[in-house]
Structure 1
Amino acid sequence: MHNHQDLLNIVAFIEKYDRFLVLGHVAPDGDCIGSQLALMLFLRRLGKQAEVASVGPFNKNEVKAHEGLFMREITEEWADAAVFIVDCATFERTGFAPFGVEARSIDHHASVEAGAVSGLIDATSPSATLLVQRVIEAFTLGMSEEEAHWLFLGFTTDTGFFRHLRAYSGEHVRQASKLIDLGASPAETFALLEGGYCLRDRQYLGRLLASSQSFFDDKVIIVEDHVQTVKEEGAPSRDSDTLYRLLLSAEATEVVIVLRMDEEQTTVGLRSKDYVDVGTIAQSLGGGGHARASGCTVKSQEHPLADLKEYLLEQIQRQL
């Protein structure tokens, strides 16, 4: 659990300043924008000036429609505001250069990176929104229905709509139930997370599944997603969550690796089912995340595809 003093420090930080800019990580997901928007709305309810900013891209289906709510660059007007960084802990992860009078982070990722901003960091929390919820509750001023909506979106995004919660997670579920009582809709949120795809998207997902490569008697699956091929065919929407879920549902499979490649870089997505710590593997390549879900981006010139695959398989084999 988080350190109670860290929570008190966040409360004091909010009370200290009147203007806040809330940042999230590059390529935001539902947990990222949910944390940003809920915190922004709460700060405004306290009488503060607050805005959200993100460099994008807003590619994921659950965030596409909300791009217009975010500043895309830091204007001079906001350069001296206090800063919150949510769902990550460094300015580098946000895509913005450091700015502001003072900064604090609210994050649930286990990896501690150089340049991390201090704040409320709890790797036992299944989502960043759950930590933002605790901040809001610390003020004992209640919560708005709109805040509950964004917090529930983030919670369900990072828990796979409760699928990733393990035993003894009752407190997390009780926190989510408060949001439902305040007006968050499980049915509407599920439709937002799972919908929005066309037939071409699903056909492309099928091609990725069919091209997957098996290693160590199906314990490890690698999928190669070539960006240039996607561009030539009209860039279908990628449904990474379903891709990981379907492959990990294979009985023998423990780890799924998705490699998205272009001429300059390769984005590595790592997911494990039960016991392989993919977070440490991503961290060794300059990335980070959780023990069961993590990722990184490497330069193609420094890490040719064949060498990268060999390295990842060696690291996983040590844990199998």
Structure 2
Amino acid sequence: MRDDPSLRSRPIAVGGSSEQRGVISTCNYEARHFGVRSAMSSIAAKKLCPDLIILPHRMEAYREASVSMRHIFYQYTDLVEPLSLDEAYLDVSDSEYCGGSATRIAEQIRQRVYDELKLTVSAGVAPNKFLAKVASDWNKPNGLFVITPNAVDSFVLRLPVSKIFGVGKATNTRLAEINIKTCADLRRFSIFELKQRFGQLGVRLYELCRGIDNREVSPSRRRKSLSVENTFPQDLRDLASCLNRLPELLQQLASRLRRIDDDYVVVKIFVKIKFADFTQTTIERSGSTLTPSEFQSLCCDAYARKESPVRLLGVGVRFVDLREDQPFYQLDLFE
């Protein structure tokens, strides 16, 4: 939209072609009004919005804009934790800019990004990462929302539990079954009750519904995994077809692994399958050898879970990062 003004005010998306089983990566707000969203098949998106314009990816342009934005961020603080090409946490607690005001820093960053890149950004200002993320989504698009320390409790009490990080569709349904819709409802339950119902997520629910998030902004984000996957123009009809596609995926994976530095140690391998009905499964196994036979075995096990046509096949590895403070790994006892 920035580079081609004729696209403004029209529903557009970035993704694969609807004629080749493409998937939507993202879309503008005009398209979202029709129900189009990321991860939706391009065919489904066109059904919801027949006038939708689907454009191909321009990764170099996105990277260039991302690097330029980060250069602006780093002028205000060294504590920048990138989440993706277009999102990052900034800790400005000790920043001397704008008189130390996080709100004024956010306003200045937004203005500079627009002046220098002609892009609009939304920002959230809050005492911790959880609330800053929620706040950044509050006044989209092109908005700013501030949660001051004194306003945390009143804000969180009214917050829908669906806004809590880690609460997806399934967990939200489970919470609704016990009449939990807001953080105020969630506070009725003790940490022991929540942990019993939801495991370790229950502990996070207990903390986040009170606005507690002690995670620090981590300037260095290291990989935990690496994978390659392919969505096929036509479904793979059987297991043999899946196995025939593995060598090309493994070749791509090996090529990408050669670019990873020696501080990463492979500890698990995995295979991911998405079936024609969009259900998916992933099977992983402890090990550091990337032999074709190992991936073939995992593929057979994954396919056996449904034995139906496959639209997407992926392979990958999980790492231990030797540069972390505690580079240990808990092996499975019975493998």
TM-score by length of 1: 0.23
* Pair member with larger Rg: 2
- TM-score if structure 2 supplies the norm length? 0.23
